[in-house]
Amino acid sequence: MEIQEFQAKALLGRYAVACPPGTLAISADGAERAVRQLGPGPVMVKAQVLAGDRAKAGGIHVAQSPEVGRAAAAGLLGRRLVTEQTGAGGELVKRVLVEAQVDSVRDLYLAIMVDAASGALLLIAGRCGGSGIEDRTASGAQTLETLSLGSGGELNADEITSFCRRLGLVDRELESCREIIGKLHRAFIELDASLIEINPLALTQAGEAVALDAKIVLDDNALFRHPDLANLRDEDEIDPVELSAQRHQLNFMQLDGDIGVIVNGAGLALATLDMIRDAGGRPANFMDIRTTAKSLDIAHGIGLVLDNPRAKVLLLNVYGGGMQPCDTIIEGLGIAVRRKGRTLPVVLRFTGNNEDLARLRLANFNLPATECADMWQAVTCAVAMAKGRK
């Protein structure tokens, strides 16, 4: 779950991470008042959307006066900001963050994320932060330093010091960087984050480290431990179909194909989508049925697929485990078809716990289906049906 910049900075404030003083505004009048309250000197007026590259897209303005701040906010609020990360439709700007400008002598890039390959926390930093860091890194104009932090526990002080020196830091700047890495590491673990990114991290003349921008992504699967953080989700920024699926223990995303995909397990779902593409087909959706989903939850998810007029065939690829046997998913299928009144050709491959009971339930629902022995056979069969071949 990604949260807005102003929310991320509020969370980091709990860990004494320095951020520029600022105020959230939802109107031009509010932005003007915020500029006056921040006192003399230029301020930043920043669109609050869940996307990067805001500066390049005109989503960040420098205001030298309250009147200019008001005009900047008026130009942003109610506008759809289009960046390289939003898609053509852009994101609607409903609020702006008005904050004091910080005099920086050097901007760094700093992030902590989960390394998918090892499961360890990975510290990443760059000598030159700010806009365009992705392009500079991709072109080879800039390299990033990395350090594995393990899976938690205490940081190794000598390793952190050496890491900061690789960024060319000395004296007070080095100490400030060491301190903020420690704070971010603690925040990452306590918040159950999957990413904390500071870009840029400003170093002032006094050597203080200040987070000029902040991005935090929280692990959805750990939100049951953080009900206060779950309330930070901006439901207006989420596709309503995906949001309804999340409420039914499903990870779901609409795609542009014609093969409806019902799978339990994210890895298995991604492999299924890859195989559909390899076979010349186009998936209509991504679906990962969580182990906590019940038959009614599964019925809701399959109903989302049946609601898609582009879907021509349903492909079920199921591995029945101890927490979610095969018959639970077949029961969800039967309920969904009865609710929606729409029947599509069904191709299925399932194995594991209660697979024989699942076949019996399928027969009781009177749902004709083509059962396949393995994934590739099921995928090629579904692709053929979608293309009108037997």
CB-count exposure of residue 223 (10 Å: 0-12, 13-18, 19+): middle
The CB density around residue 197, as the number of other CB atoms within 10 Å, is 21
Tell me how far apart the alpha carbons of residues 252 and 154 are, in angstroms, rounded to a whole number: 37
Ramachandran area for residue 33 (φ above 0: left; ψ -120 to 50: alpha; else beta): alpha
**Spatial distance between the Cα atoms of 350 and 319, rounded to a whole number of angstroms:** 6
Q: How far apart are CA 85 and CA 349, in angstroms?
A: 36
**Exposure string over 282-297, b if 16+ CB within 10 A, otherwise e:** ebbbbbbbbeebebeb
Q: From residue 246, how far is each of 1, 39, 231, 243, 287 by CA, in Å? A: 11, 44, 14, 5, 11
Q: Which of 5, 91, 109, 331 is catalytic?
A: 109
DSSP string, 116-128: TTT-SEEEEEESS
Contact call for residues 68 and 42 (beta carbons, < 8 A): no
CA–CA gap between residue 145 and residue 123 (Å, rounded)? 8
How many other CB atoms are there within 10 angstroms of residue 133's CB atom?
19
- List helix spans (H) across the chain: 5-13, 28-38, 66-76, 133-139, 157-166, 171-190, 227-230, 240-246, 266-278, 295-306, 326-340, 355-364, 375-386
| Beta-carbon contacts of residue 342 (< 8 Å; ≥ 6 apart) | 306
**Catalytic residue from among 99, 173, 197, 331:** 197
The yes-or-no answer on residue 197 being catalytic is yes
DSSP assignment of 99-112, as one string? EE----SEEEEEEE
| DSSP secondary structure code for residue 283 in this structure | B
The dihedral built from the CA positions of residue 233, 234, 237 and 238, taken in this order, carries a sign that is positive
The answer to whether 373 touches 350, Cβ cutoff 8 Å, is no
What are the Cα distances from residue 216, in Å, to 5, 113, 219, 224?
Answer: 8, 10, 10, 17
Q: Residue 83: name the closest of 57, 109, 110 by CA.
A: 57
Residue 319 among the catalytic residues: no
Q: Which residues are catalytic?
A: 109, 197
